[in-house]
Amino acid sequence: MILDTVSARRDLLDRSTTIAVVGASSNPMRPSYTVFSYLRTRTRFAVAPINPTIAAIDGVAAYPSLTAYAQKHGAPDIVDVFRKPSEVLAVVDEAIAVGAKAIWFQYGVINDEAIARADAAGLDVVVDRCIKVEAARFDGGLSTSGLNSGLITSRRRAV
């Protein structure tokens, strides 16, 4: 199902515990590093980098593929995708094969065929959204524009 409402995305994050970040980078200048680091240090999620070209990011072991990750930890709840749109069909196929529950396409990662394939396979699908921004805003930190979300309380939700 395509999760195109705020409440649907919040529900997905609320019921998830594990996130595999495909294309995570060890370069602090890359958005895929910033998102991985934020999720790992500021949220309750167990986050793993998926990148065949690196061994670890900030001491967290990287996996060369979703398959390698799933063999050790089981299927991730969410596969967060930082890949070129032309490369995401393979990521979707692997996410389906390992039994992932959801796939999250970051800003600009839009491939209609991949989205349709993931949806048809029964995965929850988030398109053209940043998981870091959404997680921060649901915890009272940001809106989609990066500003204060206007929540009544300044306290973070209990983790």
Instruction: Examine residue 146 and state whether it is found in any structural domain, yes or no.
Output: no
In a domain, 152, yes or no: no
Kindly state whether residue 106 falls inside one of the protein's structural domains. Answer: yes
Tell whether 1 is covered by a domain: no
Domain presence at residue 143: no
Structural domain that includes position 106: 6-138
pLDDT level of residue 155 (50, 70, 90 thresholds): low
Cα–Cα dist 6/95, whole Å: 23
Residue 145 within a domain: no
Would you say residue 131 lies in a domain? yes
For residues 82-98, average pLDDT: 97
Q: How far apart are CA 90 and CA 86, in angstroms?
A: 9
pLDDT at 150 over 80: no
What span, in angstroms and rounded, lies between the C-alpha atoms of 129 and 126? 7
Residue 84 sits in a domain whose CATH number is: 3.40.50.720
pLDDT in the model for residue 143: 47
The model's pTM: 0.87
Secondary element (H or E) of residue 105? strand 102-105
And the tokens for 38? 């934020």
Q: Given CA atoms 43, 47, 50, 51 in this order, what sign does their dihedral have?
A: positive
**Residue-wise pLDDT tens digits, 21-38:** 999 999 999 999 999 999
Is residue 97, in this structure, part of any structural domain at all? Answer: yes
Tell me how many domains the chain contains.
1
What's the pLDDT band for 152 if we cut at 50, 70, 90? very low
